[in-house]
Amino acid sequence: MKPTIIKVDSLNMTLTPERCYVAENYSSKDGKVSIAIATVKPGVTTVAHHLEGIEEIYIITQGTGIIDIKGMEPTKVVPGDVIVIPNGTSQRIENIDNKDLVFYCVCTPKFTQEQYFTDETSNIRI
């Protein structure tokens, strides 16, 4: 691997069916990790979902939200908080702020769309 700098202003944010904007910052060639930045607009709750075979780590950088992870009480999150979401665990996040909720998503191994599943009948609460 050679040193690389990926400038945030070079990323293309895409609105996803999950109801948030996402841009992938980095995806390792060996498939071990991917990093994306996500933005949830004020008042929006993402679609409940889980990833099969992938652990997610969220690092909150801006805004205030409520993370709702199956098996846990909904929890307020603020900049600097780190959220670990085990493989196969249903989750969603709500922006309760009047500004964007922004966080990095670190996936190990790297995220692939084939491993993403919507949990429309999820029993998690917000």
Give the chain's domain count. Answer: 1
* Strand ranges for 8-114 from DSSP E: 14-15, 21-27, 34-40, 49-51, 55-62, 65-69, 75-77, 82-85, 91-95, 101-108
- Alpha-carbon span 13 to 10, nearest angstrom: 10
Q: Does residue 10 lie in a domain region?
A: no
- Alpha-carbon span 31 to 33, nearest angstrom: 6
| Domain range enclosing 107 | 15-113
What is the CATH classification number for the domain harbouring 59?
A: 2.60.120.10
Q: Does residue 42 lie in a domain region?
A: yes
pLDDT, average across residues 5-21: 90
Q: Does residue 47 lie in a domain region?
A: yes
pLDDT above 90 (res 96): yes
pLDDT, average across residues 75-95: 97
Q: 117: which strand partners? A: 50
Q: Please measure the distance between the N-terminal and C-terminal CA atoms of the chain and give it in whole angstroms.
A: 42
**Residue position matching structure tokens 């075979």:** 53
Q: What is the per-residue pLDDT for 126? A: 41
Please tell me the pTM assigned to this model: 0.90
Q: Does residue 2 lie in a domain region?
A: no
pLDDT above 50 (res 123): yes
Q: What is the per-residue pLDDT for 30? A: 92
CA angle in degrees (0–180, nearest 5) for 10-116-108: 65
User: pLDDT-derived band of residue 109, with 50, 70 and 90 as boundaries?
Assistant: very high
Q: Does residue 24 lie in a domain region?
A: yes
Q: Does residue 122 lie in a domain region?
A: no
Q: Does residue 58 lie in a domain region?
A: yes
Q: Does residue 6 lie in a domain region?
A: no
